[in-house]
Amino acid sequence: MAFATFVGANRTQGNDRVPLVTTTTTPPPNPFHTVAVSRFLAGRTNDVTAALCDLRTGRIYTYNPDVPMPTASMVKIDILAALLHHAEATGVPLTSADRQLAAAMVEDSDNNAATTLFNELGGPAALTSFNRALGMAHTTTQWNWGATLTTPYDEIALLRTIVLPNNVLDDLDRRYEMSLMEHVVTYQRFGVGQGAAATALVGLKNGWFPYDSGWGINSAGFVLVGNTEYLVAIQTADNPNEQYGRDSVSTLARLLWRAQWASGAQAPPN
């Protein structure tokens, strides 16, 4: 299977570029350097790594970059993207049964559905090939898909493939995956999008799992409204309990929304 490569390998913190969606005359400030975000992160006892891509300027900002952490269920949108690309490349569309499994995997975070689709894709080798084509150089896929290691920077490359027009996923497949992310069940909608305007289009996929050293809690997705359009990925490890991790990703997401809104959004904060 041939994959197109379109994500660059530059990793200068806070200065990476992706194709512009809209432009501004003055680049917004680094959201991780705002007082509120800096103070919040300094007060956490867990490990946090995060990245935000401002689609107005194409800039990618990172916090504590290049620290791979387990994806847990966050990898499920990666599995689906790879499946959709494979279907396009082979000309064999997903079956209705596959689509039912995909909906269960993303919207309800069904693990059995994820395992079935991961095996159907071809396991770690197939997902690794897809990820490398997207420029996800710091992602290591495992047969135990939830143990796959990735970084927020790599997750931004995946989110770009889902949200922005590209030659890996056609518009119909991108919109299909975005729709599933927009309809994740309510009790799993922590993290990305917290605090955003009620009119914002928010899609996300979270991951959570207890490890020997504490809970891992992750959140990745998109927030689109007016002139505020961004992708964000947050990963945490060594949380003393699940709630601490959920609070970490949700509060950080809320502060990032405020920073993005303050730097030029049209919609008022919710």
Average the pLDDT over 91-100 and give the result.
97
Q: Give the tokens for residue 6.
A: 């379109």
> Which pLDDT band, with edges at 50, 70 and 90, does 5 fall under?
very low
Q: Are 55 and 49 in contact (CB under 8 A)?
A: no
Distance CA 80, CA 67 (A): 24
Instruction: Check residue 264 and give its pLDDT.
Output: 66
Tally the C-alpha atoms within 13 A of residue 261's C-alpha that lie toward its C-beta: 18
> Given a cut of 50, is residue 269 above it in pLDDT?
no
> Given a cut of 50, is residue 23 above it in pLDDT?
no
DSSP characters for 214-268? Answer: EEEEEEEEEEEETTEEEEEEEEEEEESSHHHHHHHHHHHHHHHHHHHHHTT-SSP
Across 6-15, 29-38, 205-214, least confident range: 6-15
At 30, the amino acid letter reads N
> Given a cut of 70, is residue 32 above it in pLDDT?
yes
| Percentage of the residues of the chain whose pLDDT score is greater than 90 | 84
DSSP characters for the chain? Answer: ------------TTTEE---SS--SSPPPPGGGSHHHHHHHHT-SSEEEEEEEETTTTEEEEES-S--EE-GGGGHHHHHHHHHHHHHHHT-PPPHHHHHHHHHHHHS--HHHHHHHHHHHTHHHHHHHHHHHTT-TT-B--SSGGG-EE-HHHHHHHHHHHHS--SSS-HHHHHHHHHHHHT--GGG--STTTT--TT-EEEEEEEEEEETTEEEEEEEEEEEETTEEEEEEEEEEEESSHHHHHHHHHHHHHHHHHHHHHTT-SSPP-
| Percentage of the residues of the chain whose pLDDT score is greater than 70 | 87
Instruction: Check residue 7 and give its pLDDT.
Output: 31
> Given a cut of 50, is residue 266 above it in pLDDT?
no
Q: Which CATH number fits domain 16-262: 3.30.930.10, 1.20.120.80, 3.40.710.10, 3.40.50.2300?
A: 3.40.710.10
Instruction: Check residue 262 and give its pLDDT.
Output: 85
> Given a cut of 70, is residue 98 above it in pLDDT?
yes
What pTM did the predictor assign? 0.89
> Which pLDDT band, with edges at 50, 70 and 90, does 25 fall under?
low
Q: Which residue has the higher pLDDT, 226 or 161?
A: 161
